[in-house]
């Protein structure tokens, strides 16, 4: 919800700047340029130094600085800051909180700007690692069996954990930055560079990361279209729900690379169908929350496209077709692997507290919300 508020602030600032004809340069003619200038305006409005700097002071300081800025100066500053941070990190007494304390009293965006100087290097925060941990645990428990790895043995898990944990945390972090709209033009390039350096990058992994970027763009496009009553295409919705699990496919392909093994195509195909069903199940479980927070949700999209009365039937048809394919592929797996995966699905469903157990039980489609704005307004008034 907090990230959505940040995105809405940026969009409102863009609208304000357009209304005042402030976005007139070539650099502000694209989405990245407008978001950059909007974020800069929002940054200038934030208190700094305990509120000692007025807006006039900030404008004066910027006016003095801008004539002296150039791409060459910024590139030199980037190198300067990067080298300084590396030297600090090599110092035995250095801790991350020293950097944070140095910027205490200023807005968090200032710290983010410092981090962006080093954006060509793949880095993750502790917060991203903590929040990505549940996905990583699920991956290990659900996918290790397809590599004949015993997830109950710590030495097996920890052998592959560093690169898997870093990759998932990096992807989670970039997903958050997409919502906040302050990521670079090529957000996955630092990760690509790292994987290439480690000898783990393949064309297929790079393709999945590119598809992840496509999903992020589709997610924002569809959610924006939904709240602004723009046209939504079923092709875009189905593509988005299939792309949503790209991080699992990246991790799975990485595990093949880490093991030095060939990719098992039958397993990849089966898991792709399973991932689709899991994503739909998650969307049904999270439907009301996703309406409130304007998150991508397949049922929300179906309601907009087909209408409140027809959407559940259309989604049920889609689920049924996927389940038929799932069962066919499941029967093609090694019997022991098939049973192990069924057991894991049952465990995950029970742990998640979900009503439906794809595809082992009955699917329950929640009551649709025809008027989302009315629903949000009513819920807000009921809780106020």
Higher-scoring residue by pLDDT: 127, 58: 127
d(CA 338, CA 274): 12
194, pLDDT greater than 90: yes
Tell the residue number behind the tokens 């889609």, with chain if given: 318
Nearest to 320 by CA among 351, 276, 369: 276
d(CA 179, CA 187): 13
Answer whether 94's CB lies under 8 Å from 88's CB: yes
Two tokens, residue 41: 């305006």
d(CA 384, CA 376): 12
Query: For position 115, what pLDDT does the model report?
Result: 47
pLDDT, average across residues 288-312: 96
Higher-scoring residue by pLDDT: 257, 181: 257
**Nearest 5°: phi and psi at 357?**
-125, 75
Banded model confidence at residue 85, pLDDT cuts 50, 70, 90: very low
342, pLDDT greater than 50: yes
Average pLDDT value over all residues in the chain: 82
d(CA 186, CA 213): 9
Query: For position 316, what pLDDT does the model report?
Result: 96
For 202-217, write each residue's pLDDT tens digit.
999 999 999 999 999 9
292, pLDDT greater than 90: yes
Higher-scoring residue by pLDDT: 305, 380: 305
pLDDT, average across residues 347-356: 71
Answer whether 46's CB lies under 8 Å from 107's CB: yes
pLDDT, average across residues 286-298: 95
Task: Classify burial at 274, counting beta carbons within 10 Å of its beta carbon; exposed 0-12, middle 13-18, buried 19 or more.
Answer: buried
313, pLDDT greater than 90: yes
39, pLDDT greater than 60: yes
pTM comes to 0.69
pLDDT, average across residues 259-267: 98
Answer whether 327's CB lies under 8 Å from 277's CB: no
């Amino acid at each position: 919800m907090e990230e959505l508020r940040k995105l809405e602030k940026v969009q409102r600032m863009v609208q304000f700047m357009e209304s005042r004809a402030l976005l007139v340069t070539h650099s502000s003619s694209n989405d990245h340029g407008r978001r950059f200038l909007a974020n800069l305006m929002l940054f200038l409005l934030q208190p700094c130094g305990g509120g000692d700097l007025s807006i006039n002071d900030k404008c004066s300081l910027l006016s003095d600085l801008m004539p002296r800025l150039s791409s060459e100066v910024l590139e030199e500053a980037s190198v300067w800051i990067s080298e300084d941070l590396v030297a600090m990190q090599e110092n035995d007494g250095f801790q991350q909180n020293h950097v944070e304390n140095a910027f205490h009293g200023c807005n968090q965006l200032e710290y983010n700007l410092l981090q962006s100087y080093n954006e060509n290097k793949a880095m993750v925060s502790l917060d991203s690692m903590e929040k990505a941990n549940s996905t990583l645990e699920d991956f290990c428990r659900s996918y290790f069996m397809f590599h004949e790895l015993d997830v109950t043995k710590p030495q097996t898990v920890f052998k592959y954990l560093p690169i898997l944990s870093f990759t998932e945390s990096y992807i989670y972090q970039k997903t958050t930055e997409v919502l906040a709209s302050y990521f670079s033009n090529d957000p996955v390039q630092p990760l690509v560079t790292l994987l290439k350096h480690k000898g783990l990058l393949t064309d297929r992994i790079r393709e999945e990361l590119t598809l992840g970027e496509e999903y992020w763009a589709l997610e924002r496009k569809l959610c924006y279209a939904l709240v602004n009553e723009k046209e939504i295409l079923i092709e875009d919705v189905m593509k988005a729900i299939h792309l949503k699990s790209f991080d699992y496919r990246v991790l799975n392909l990485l595990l093949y690379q880490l093991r030095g093994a060939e990719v098992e195509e039958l397993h990849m195909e089966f898991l792709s169908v399973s991932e689709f069903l899991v994503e739909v199940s998650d969307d049904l479980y999270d439907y009301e929350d996703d309406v409130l927070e304007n998150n991508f949700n397949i049922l929300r999209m179906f309601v907009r496209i087909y209408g409140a009365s027809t959407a559940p039937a259309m989604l049920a048809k889609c689920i049924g077709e996927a389940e038929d394919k799932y069962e066919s592929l499941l029967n093609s797996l090694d019997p022991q692997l098939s049973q192990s995966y069924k057991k894991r699905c049952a465990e995950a469903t029970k742990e998640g507290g979900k009503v439906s157990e794809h595809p082992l039980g009955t699917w329950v489609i929640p009551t649709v919300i025809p008027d989302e704005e009315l629903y949000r307004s009513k819920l807000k008034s009921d809780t106020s």
